[in-house]
Amino acid sequence: MQAATVSSEPIRTIQLNGSSVTILGTAHISQKSIDAVSKIIQEEKPDIVCVELCPSRMRSVLDPDHWKKLDIFKVFKERKMWLLLSSLILSSFQKKLGHGNIRPGDEMRKAIEEGGKIGAKIAPVDREISVTLKRAWWNVGFWSRMFLFSTLLTSLLYKEEVTPEKIEEMKSDDVLKDLFSQLPNRYHSVKNVIIDERDEYLAQRIREQAVDGKKIFAVVGAGHLEGIMKNITEDKDISPLDILPKKSVWDVIRPILFPALILSLFGFVYWHGGREEGQEFLLRWILVKGTLAALGALVALAHPVSIVLAFLAAPVGNFNPIIKPGWLAALSESWLRKPLVEDFEKIGEDTESFRGYWRNNVIRIFLVFTLPQIGSSIGTFIVSKQIIEKIPHIFGSFFS
């Protein structure tokens, strides 16, 4: 095994099964990384070029019109919006760090382009992004998920100027480790999924290409370089890393428990407080939850039809996993106001101003999804609190 540099780029070379494997560590927004990729492929002429992309992400990279083909209505209908939102946020954050016309992942695009010119096989060696995100998401509890998601959202507000020098620092082997070391210990499982598991996965997939004396060139993020080198010398079974985790008992019980509690409260008020009290509770539940959900949709500047759907769905959303105010409002919005390609491309730019969140149709659809849900949840808290406060009075009237 030997270490070297190409224009100061971190690079490792190893012999595997009679094949020469060269692995280049890059920053995803670095012009120097792009130049190094081009230089190595042109000079070394590898038989196989491995890229840190999963098959679905590589299809997107190869298809310049992939945003035109994205049916956001279908995304919400199939409940894949969390995956899309996470991908958009990460891409937007990286784009903000870039300089000039450099886009996130341009070094991967360059590897595919240059590899194609010399007739090399292009091999995507990363795990599917949906599997990685789901394994990370379900490995932590509900509140930890909310923290991680809020951290993602906060990255949209990032405005610090990143110098070319800082971009080059991203190629340090320990950048990703330093980043995750700052998180509380309870997020170690997330770091394990996003970094350690993928180190193993990338190493094995690169290793699988090293046969018949082929010359292999792999392009990966610099933060994965050392982890790959630790794992690549040993043949491993990585199939368990593609298995999605099962939901916890609490994740299964929680959607049932809360509706049961609300129905129990309603039943108690109706039978012990009388028909009038029960009807008042029901009317308050409908009006407060519906109004606050509709207000959330209105704040998001939703279409009038979406606002009405948010109002109608809110009272029953706690009892039906499909009819949620945010879901229906966002489905309506994505159908009535389909985003343009430029909306996807300008997410990073539009999130630099407050007004941009409402100007960009993609972001606004997610606001239409989120704000009615928040409004409905606040309504649930308000009405439930009022009913709980009435219980002693109902008990007193019942026993007097």
Domain ranges of the chain: 2-242, 249-399
Nearest to 310 by CA among 300, 296, 320, 322: 296
Give SS3 for 161: coil
How many CA atoms lie less than 13 Å away from 180 in the CB half-sphere? 15
Q: What's residue 117's pLDDT?
A: 95
> What is the rounded distance in angstroms from the CA atom of residue 351 to the CA atom of residue 359?
10
Q: Any idea what DSSP says for residue 324?
A: -
**31-58 pLDDT per residue, tens:** 888 899 999 999 999 999 999 998 888 8
Q: What are the CB-based long-range contacts (under 8 Å, 24+) for 237-243? A: 238/200, 238/201, 238/204, 238/205, 241/127, 241/135, 241/197, 241/200, 241/201, 242/127, 242/128, 242/131
Mean pLDDT score of the chain? 77
138 contacts 243 by C-beta, under 8 angstroms: no
**326-373 pLDDT per residue, tens:** 888 988 888 888 776 566 666 666 666 667 677 777 778 888 888 999
Give the list of residues 6+ apart from residue 362 with CB closer than 8 angstroms, or none.
72, 88, 339, 343, 344, 347
Most confident of 7-11, 179-183, 322-326, 339-343: 322-326
CA distances 67 to 22, 342, 343, 349, Å, are 33, 9, 9, 17
